Structure 1
């Protein structure tokens, strides 16, 4: 497995008391996942609380004022970006570390642009995650190695971020999920199983995606997604 928690850049301020465990709030809409993360990191960091959606996250961060928020990208109520936008002026000292199943370029870049100090995927190990939390608390920017490449490419101009955002804005979140799986070569039945929806619903979403992106086939969709590094 690739190593995670590699600092991409350094900066920020030193923690006021580096001898104390970092305080954390875990934000994810899956209770079982929150429980698993808590079991992996508790004792090495101070878990102050949890939240399952945008409103809960904003309330918890304002009330508990953690040093770091472990933030899922796709949340009910507007996503991780909405949490960061609403928190930025209210609790400016809190830093955000995205912890997501998605390794798609648009999610990584969009989340960093929204204010996250780092982005790691859910394949990360417990010790790696604790290390990443500590680095973010100290002001480092931390990314899984492959994801750091997306960010560097975006700043270098080799990923046309504005155009990717404009294209994706036409799609709903569910359409993006279907688009990515279809572009990766999944059959309709496999997409339906993966997303717990019917094959008919998959067909409807695919038709909508092709229409909105002005594409005519799955082959064109795969090429479109590959060119934009969305796979």
Structure 2
């Protein structure tokens, strides 16, 4: 007799954005693995509802009225130390139209676990929410380089001490570094003077050797090791 699979985890979300229509649109695109337990249009209301509901993930814009004028960063700092009923930290994922480096860096420095832009697909957003709820760091690919630069990673230097990294050839490391920084395949090909097909082959090899399944996971892997 086959054991029944446990029901999927329901991620409790607070949605923070000053545009009601946008909040409604996001709610309409979420699936049955998520539950919006609160909404807020500004910093003060957001802090209040997050403190009251203690969600798994706060999905917030970086540009919000109120607070000290720092938008989403004020929400994150205003809720520092909060935990869910299960004892996990309340985690924050920025969802913004802005892809400016200063916005990304500010909200991550305040304590957010990730930053994605509003061009993200509904499926990718749901995946990002679940990953942040599990403690992963998630970024839209081209934004990862901002974070790496801001937090002290040195461009072009790759640590040699990681056993996983030692599995990669020198060329695979170069490709990995550029892909993790958000380069598209054609941009990697131009940078390294190789064909797009060769880039695809190297990326497949890197993901296989590191036992990763996507470029998003590769970005998180590289960030955790400060490889750029």
Secondary structure in 2 matching 1:140: coil
Any unmatched runs of 5+ in structure 2? Answer: 1-5, 156-228
Secondary structure in 1 matching 2:98: coil
Whether 1:93 and 2:89 are equivalent positions in the alignment is yes
Deviation string for 1:112-144 (max 9, x for gaps)?
Answer: 001000000000011100000000000000000
Task: Give the CA deviation at 1:106.
Answer: 0.6
1:145 aligned residue (127, 133, 141): 141
Task: Give the CA deviation at 1:23.
Answer: 0.7
- Distance change (3 Å), C-alpha of 1:24 and 1:150: same
Aligned length: 143
2:106 aligned residue (84, 106, 110): 110
- Aligned CA RMSD, in angstroms, stands at 1.9
CA distance in 2, matches of 1:82, 1:19: 32
Task: Give the CA deviation at 1:62.
Answer: 0.9
Secondary structure in 1 matching 2:151: helix
Secondary structure in 2 matching 1:84: helix
Partner of 1:54: 43
TM-score (structure 2 length as normaliser)? 0.59
Task: Give the CA deviation at 1:89.
Answer: 2.9
CA contact (8 A) 2:58 2:91 kept: yes
TM-score (structure 1 length as normaliser)? 0.58
CA distance in 1, matches of 2:8, 2:33: 11
CA distance in 1, matches of 2:73, 2:52: 19
CA contact (8 A) 2:54 2:82 kept: no
Task: Give the CA deviation at 1:157.
Answer: 5.7
CA distance in 1, matches of 2:65, 2:7: 34
- Distance change (3 Å), C-alpha of 1:18 and 1:132: farther
**Matched ranges for 1:14-29 at <5 A:** 19-29=8-18
The farther-off stretch of 131-140 and 91-100 is: 91-100
2:119 aligned residue (114, 119, 123): 123
Deviation string for 1:180-225 (max 9, x for gaps)?
Answer: xxxxxxxxxxxxxxxxxxxxxxxxxxxxxxxxxxxxxxxxxxxxxx
CA contact (8 A) 2:14 2:55 kept: yes
1:69 aligned residue (23, 34, 58): 58
Any unmatched runs of 5+ in structure 1? Answer: 1-16, 160-231
Secondary structure in 1 matching 2:24: helix
Greater relative contact order (CA < 8 Å, ≥ 6 in sequence): 1
Secondary structure in 2 matching 1:129: helix
CA distance in 2, matches of 1:26, 1:99: 10
Secondary structure in 2 matching 1:156: coil
- Distance change (3 Å), C-alpha of 1:42 and 1:51: farther
Task: Give the CA deviation at 1:42.
Answer: 4.1
